Structure 1
Amino acid sequence: MAKHQFQTEIGQLLKLMTHSLYSNKEIFIRELVSNSSDALDKFNYLSLTDEKFKNDNWSGKIFIKLDEADGTLTIGDNGVGMNEADLMDHLGTIAKSGTKAFMENLTGDAKKDSNLIGQFGVGFYSVFMVAEQVDVISKKAGEEQAYMFSTDGSGEYEVKPVTKEEHGTIVYIKLKDEEKEFLSKWKTQEVVKKYSNHIAYPIMLNYSEDETTGEGDDAVTKSVNKSEQINAATALWTLSKSELKAEDYNEFYKTISHGDAEPLTYLHNKVEGSQEFTTLFYIPKTAPMDMYRADYTPGVKLYVKRVFITDDDKELLPPYLRFIKGVIDSEDLPLNVSRELLQENRILANIKQNSVKKILGAIKKLEGEDAETFTAQYNKVIKEGIYTDQMNKEILLDIVKYKSSIEEGLVSFEDYISRGDSEKKEIYYITGEDENVLRNSPLLEAYKKANIEVLIMDDKEVDSIVSPMIGIYKEWSLKDITTVDAPDSKTEEEKEEISKEFKSLTDKIKEVLGEEVKEVKTSTRLTSSPSCVLKDSSDPMAGMAEMFAQMGQEMPEIPLILEINPEHEMIKKLDGLSDESLFADISWILLDSAKLSEGLEPKDKGAFAQRVASLATKAI
């Protein structure tokens, strides 16, 4: 019997488990029962759709056996089972690329970390909080050979062939001496009712109990084996809302989310008529760890007439709602619907459309602290939705929020227009990577002076693509302040006069800078800064940049316009400067410092540093 080493990350995880990092040890029962339920779901589907597995006598069940004499707790099922390769893949490794992220996110905080166990598909290992030895015996449906996976959690495991009659899995847990409380009937019942009451299959508790017959000297006490069902075994979403309490919904959520946290909110909906379906969706308080990974795990399970179909189809909801957890149960889809048919199925398309509207409606209704929590966790993916979901764009625009140049915290478009200029109907914004850089941008000076609010959009990778395509919100036009004229009190004639007065200076600066700028002109948008740079919105490359960003390619360089502040002391002195070398240095510093103010880098950082040092030396 060959010994195998656990994957490095599993070894680390086992070390944490065996050293009792987690205070909520009872979750191991929840995780193993949940795994059994998934295995039963998978075989149930096979038994109804695959001739090879059809069995009219099969009835899914989970059993828990308590053996005080032996110090073992056993959890088993007659589900789909595992073969040798499955045991090694599922128990010897964490079979997903989020493994490293999982280990990096372990904090040492028992409550936070216990929530991660199930999120990363490693719920089985929670058993090592209480076990000194674990044996998993499993036989895969349709195969003859059964196998046993054994480990004491020390870093190695063994897999060997064994004999087992029925397909399914049995987990034998030899409990540590200090964890024998889990052999109590009452403790096990309490844990199952708390976490697994609405598992759709009966959970049978097998235990021994002393019974006394007769009286006095004739009394005889003997141990009697008993079995009783300890869960409701009714899929929670099939019950009417009037039968359920908030705590029922919350406990069911803990089962499907593999955590201890309650959801931010939930929505339970039953539709009857030409199509019949039930949905139960949850919004987690904390975003899934893999939300921004390409291989994220979908959180919604699809059932047809209470028969589990799939839990890994990313088409059940739009990608931007990938944080939603829950269930869709259709009465109209065929049981043997394939993945390809799911993507094209009109029934599912209608369910998806209805579900999205319900979810977005529930999000829009969030208030106070709940609304703040949602925005903090999911604002960025809502922006994705604005770009990808044109049908629901309006309600998404009602939900999304941004930082503001005049308000603390985050504001909505509705907040903005409530205090904006109702005649001009313009929403101003600036995009970039660094909030501090944006707030101190010279481009904001004229807006601050005119007391005009500007939205600070610092999710550049998203905002730079999404914001330009929003266009209009309730008749208000979105304006990027880097491409539009700034507010000022000067007339066109006055601006023309200033431009003529400094034309020789702007021409000379342009001559020094050459192709580095498309144009140099005087500015009326600046109050305290000597210069600023703007994108030339009329240049065809500006439109191309957005297209390149959408394709994930490097954006072409957009020609910049340098604006100088004619009222700044530096510009006034520069206008009469005869030292050509000094003039050139200052011209370049005007450009490079303006770039830095917008979060851009000087083309030649070394030359910029030398010019600054040279000017500082002369000033000293």
Structure 2
Amino acid sequence: MSTEKGNLSIHSENIFPIIKKWLYSDHDIFVRELISNGCDAITKLKKLDAMGETSLPEDNEFKIEVIVDDKEKTLTFIDNGIGMTDEEVKQYINQIAFSGAEDFLNKYKDKANEDQIIGHFGLGFYSAFMVAEKVTIDTLSYKEGAKAVRWVSDGGNEYEMSDSDRTERGTKITLSIGEDGKDFLNEWTVKSTIQKYCSLMPIEIYLINPNKEEPKVENEEENGEVKEPEAPKPLNDTTPLYLKKPNECTDEEYKEFYRKIFMDFKEPLFWIHLNMDYPFNLKGILYFPKLGNQFDTMEGQIKLYNNQVFVADNIKEVIPEFLLLLKGVLDCPDLPLNVSRSFLQNDGFVKKISNYITKKVADKLNSLYKKEKESYEKFWDDIHPFIKFGCLKDDKFFDKTKGIILYKTTTGDYVTLEEYLDRNKEKHENKVYYVTDETLQSQYIKMFKDNGMEAVIMNTTIDQPYISHIEMKESENNIKFARIDADLTDSLKDEDSTSEEDNKKLSEEVQTVFRKALANENLTVTMENLKSEDISAMIILPEESRRMQDMSKMYGMFGMDSAAMPSNESLLLNKKNKLVKYIIDNKDNENTDIFCNQIYDLAMISHKQLSPEAMTKFIERSNKILQKLI
């Protein structure tokens, strides 16, 4: 053909500045776009061959090659796919935003299945100008008698077309890299970008560096045979595990896929294999990593693909927020993507996909609980923050999982809420007692155990909002949660022959002694007969007050920290304890002040951490008491 020059037909205004600066949020996206186009071209040719529209040689091997040449300052993408005629170049390249894949589907819509056609967007090719000063296309169509075509443009509105010397079917795109793209003349940069976006593409991708000095490998003789050097290996896995049926996959294959995709060598707890064809096409694998108690600082990673082409990580429109704590791969060709393939339209169809994923996760958890209860309990400490977070975020998820939410008790076993209430109904009166710190609250835990009572362990960040959520959901059943030190249940008290009036008078007298000794006029002191004589005192803080303090600490309410809030803590003294009896009988003794302070601090240590100043005084006072004993 004779050389032809012309102006690019652009549907709106000059689109190149938009491509370079705004259309693609990630600078390296052009690698994905050009490889995707090559993969698309090969897929088209394979479909034409399958439909009898063309005939390919039996030994034909499809592949995509990416050549990094830092000396020539070029980056080249080569495929052996369908290729283009000069008319197709004019139509698909010169008329920007006209999608070749869309035209192909319209032509063969009765014969071809569009699932495997990747290139739905005509602007993908032009992402090359993000890094290239000049782009050259050499292409030869599969059609018999077709002539090779060369197309050249420097990123302006002009192009030049002429005959090409290409002799092989397919397309070669050469980027003459400019200053903006010099990082992509580095082999490692290109390799890592391909692995980021194209690691699961269905056509083998090879990276070539013509300037790299390969280590000399001498043919070794092994068992009398000459050992040949290893053949080049593709950078991608063309048949990722999620494309198989779940019953065809082994546990080791699931673990190996996890290690390869996420570079995480800690084994996942378990996984969910999604395999759906109707009413939408969705495949993938979701893994449950070990979350532990610090889930609030952990970020999962769910990779979204479209026909094995990476789109983005953690897209909230498709993946419910609480599932973003997991790790996984989702491939959904039906997702409505915008031109950059980087963001999703938040519509009803996407919502259905999100609901389906949520349902499958809930179904898996229920199946584990019913069929593998022992394993479910073993996983519980790692997965419970995720499940509770899901219950807070999604009412449907809560409805499906509320019956399998476990509570670890102070006796060491795992029970549902219903089981806990049923086996403690005689002493707990429809109340759930919980522990937030097993070390600090050990005195209260021991007191519960000594009296045949139990509490549940709720020591993660998510537990406080979750408790409020459960109380709201179970309001009809009047279920209430109370921290183990929130109040003194009647089950822990012993009979007291003292009249109410006399007890009140005694409490006021002892309160005066403690207020003077502690220099705290706001301290409230109460007296009770506890079943255990060993406990001298306890700090009691009503549940409502404690929750308000926790909220102020979490959200900075009232413009103050929790220490500045009014405190409703009270000191409960055990009248059966010998030290308390001493104070009652010796209110004016020289040692009374030091004993009052010691009793108060001992009670406070079992309630919360002492301040540095209070801890220093407590240690000094303990030494003085020991010296008095000597």
Same fold (TM over 0.5): yes
Amino acid at match of 2:453: I
Q: Does 1:268 align with 2:273?
A: yes
CA distance in 1, matches of 2:524, 2:430: 27
Q: Does 1:613 align with 2:615?
A: no
Cα deviation, 1:526-571, whole Å, max 9, x if unaligned, reads 62211010114465xx453233244267434433100000111111
CA distance in 2, matches of 1:611, 1:289: 36
CA distance in 2, matches of 1:286, 1:144: 44
> Which of 338, 343, 348 lines up with 1:336 in the alignment?
338
CA distance in 2, matches of 1:451, 1:549: 34
CA distance in 2, matches of 1:238, 1:548: 49
Corresponding residue of 1:477: 480
- Native 8 Å contact 2:487 2:541 kept in 1: no
- Native 8 Å contact 1:285 1:374 kept in 2: no
Amino acid at match of 1:614: K
Structure 2 CA distance for partners of 1:500 and 1:55, relative to 1, 3 Å? closer
CA apart distance, 1:83 = 10
CA apart distance, 1:408 = 2.7
Amino acid at match of 1:481: I
Matched position secondary structure for 1:506: helix
Corresponding residue of 2:178: none
- Native 8 Å contact 1:397 1:473 kept in 2: no
CA apart distance, 1:451 = 0.6
Amino acid at match of 2:270: T
Matched position secondary structure for 1:269: strand
- Native 8 Å contact 1:200 1:233 kept in 2: yes
Cα deviation, 1:476-508, whole Å, max 9, x if unaligned, reads 432323223313365799673662362322343
Structure 2 CA distance for partners of 1:609 and 1:262, relative to 1, 3 Å? closer
CA distance in 1, matches of 2:401, 2:501: 46
- Native 8 Å contact 1:487 1:525 kept in 2: no
Q: Does 1:141 align with 2:148?
A: no
Structure 2 CA distance for partners of 1:291 and 1:465, relative to 1, 3 Å? closer
CA distance in 1, matches of 2:381, 2:339: 38
Larger radius of gyration: 2
Corresponding residue of 2:157: none
Total equivalences in the alignment: 450
Cα deviation, 1:408-434, whole Å, max 9, x if unaligned, reads 35555355245322796534334434x
Which structure 2 residues correspond to residues 112-511 of structure 1 after superposition, within 5 A? 141-142=128-129, 143-144=131-132, 166=174, 200-202=202-204, 233-241=238-246, 244=249, 246=251, 248-259=253-264, 263-271=268-276, 273=278, 275-284=279-288, 286-287=290-291, 292-293=296-297, 296=299, 298-313=300-315, 316-336=318-338, 342=344, 344-366=346-368, 367=372, 370-395=375-400, 397-398=402-403, 400-405=405-410, 407-408=411-412, 410-413=414-417, 415-417=419-421, 419-421=423-425, 426-433=430-437, 435-438=438-441, 440-441=442-443, 443-444=444-445, 446-459=447-460, 461-471=461-471, 475=477, 476-488=479-491, 496=500, 499-500=503-504, 502-503=506-507, 504-511=509-516
Amino acid at match of 1:141: A
5+ residue gaps, structure 1, are 1-37, 61-75, 85-139, 147-163, 173-195, 207-220
- Native 8 Å contact 1:404 1:456 kept in 2: yes
CA distance in 1, matches of 2:351, 2:455: 39
CA distance in 2, matches of 1:604, 1:431: 24
Q: Does 1:574 align with 2:583?
A: yes
Identity %: 21
CA distance in 2, matches of 1:229, 1:507: 83
CA distance in 2, matches of 1:170, 1:289: 41
CA apart distance, 1:342 = 3.3
Structure 2 CA distance for partners of 1:343 and 1:384, relative to 1, 3 Å? farther
CA distance in 1, matches of 2:311, 2:237: 22
- Native 8 Å contact 2:537 2:574 kept in 1: yes
CA apart distance, 1:473 = 7.6
- Native 8 Å contact 1:304 1:335 kept in 2: no
Structure 2 CA distance for partners of 1:409 and 1:257, relative to 1, 3 Å? farther
Amino acid at match of 2:537: S
Cα deviation, 1:5-25, whole Å, max 9, x if unaligned, reads xxxxxxxxxxxxxxxxxxxxx
- Native 8 Å contact 2:205 2:234 kept in 1: yes
Structure 2 CA distance for partners of 1:337 and 1:286, relative to 1, 3 Å? farther
Corresponding residue of 1:30: none
CA distance in 2, matches of 1:266, 1:225: 35
Corresponding residue of 2:81: none
More deviation, 468-477/521-530: 468-477
Cα deviation, 1:115-149, whole Å, max 9, x if unaligned, reads xxxxxxxxxxxxxxxxxxxxxxxxx9333379xxx
CA apart distance, 1:388 = 4.1
CA distance in 2, matches of 1:404, 1:572: 35
TM-score computed with the length of structure 2 as normaliser: 0.57
5+ residue gaps, structure 2, are 1-25, 45-62, 72-126, 135-171, 176-183, 189-197, 209-225
CA distance in 1, matches of 2:458, 2:486: 15
CA distance in 2, matches of 1:607, 1:288: 36
